Chain A
Amino acid sequence: MGLPDILFYVFAALTLLCGVLVVANPFSRSPVTSAMFLVLTIISLAGLFVLLHAFFLAAVQIIVYAGAVIVLFLFVIMLLDLKEEQRRKIKLFGFVGGVLSVGAIAVICLKALHAAHPGADLAAPQLEGGTNALGQLLFRQYVLPFEVVSVLLLVAMVGVILLSKKDLK
């Protein structure tokens, strides 16, 4: 087992552990702790991206998610006064039902994955997801979706400004 394999197991364990702590933290029910563990999940996911040789996406993941999205989350959490929310308990029936149904979905997906055994007949990967190759593809073949996404960002911006107005008509 080489170093990349060991690193894969380390990053995968970190990702899943931090994911559990985002969803069901036994020590704290505050949204701030969830947001902090979401940052850790995203950083270890970026590590997995590096192991998959997707270097540009790993950088984008850290800059956009950990840098922008989570900061936005923290801003909103601090804006809202959520002291009262922490005291409510999770109902037992909802907890058991949720865990059972999601566990069943997980088992079905993992069994299907195991039965399909993907990637067994594929050649050894040689792909490098550097900035150059990705940029060439993005601005040649995918230039129309790229422009459409820029319009989408504009629409989102206008929508957010409209929603944040004090007297929404």
Chain B
Amino acid sequence: MTVGLEHYLTVSVLLFCLGLLGVVMRRNLLVIYMSLELMLNAANLALVAFSRFNNKLDGQVLVFFIITVAAAEVSVGLALIVALYRRRQSAHVEDLTTMKL
């Protein structure tokens, strides 16, 4: 059986669900951030696969933009985590309950 669009999309779905599992399960802010990166990469894989099998380059341009935005997002997010750690001495989500009623 030759590898087609469906195979790539299956890998993409599984990778996305792994990232979602990490966001739900892990309690360390940094690991949650890495799981978010996994989810973004799964979306990238789906876009590149669609682009290839539809013979249109637009999907790859979109992936290019997603990579740029993800880099900006990571830098801002990590700066936030460092600022948070400086104030609270913790990068653990269960310690961040200031807004809890």
**B57 pairs with A134, CB closer than 8 A:** yes
Q: Is B3 an interface residue (CB 8 A)?
A: yes
Pick the contact of B21 from A102, A118, A138 — CB < 8 Å?
A: A102
Q: How large is the interface on B (under 10, 10 to 19, 20 to 34, 35 or more residues)?
A: 35 or more
Q: Is B31 an interface residue (CB 8 A)?
A: yes
A149 to B49, CA, bound (A): 23
Digitize A96-128: 1 where CB-to-B-CB distance is under 8 Å, 0 elsewhere: 001101110110011001100111101101110
B34 CB to closest chain A CB (Å) equals: 5
B69 CB to closest chain A CB (Å) equals: 7
Complex interface: chain A residues within 8 A of B38 (CB)? 19, 22-23, 38, 41
**A38 pairs with B7, CB closer than 8 A:** no
**A69 pairs with B82, CB closer than 8 A:** no
Known: A15-B15, A138-B61, A163-B83. 4 other contacts (CB 8 A): A52-B52, A72-B78, A80-B30, A155-B72
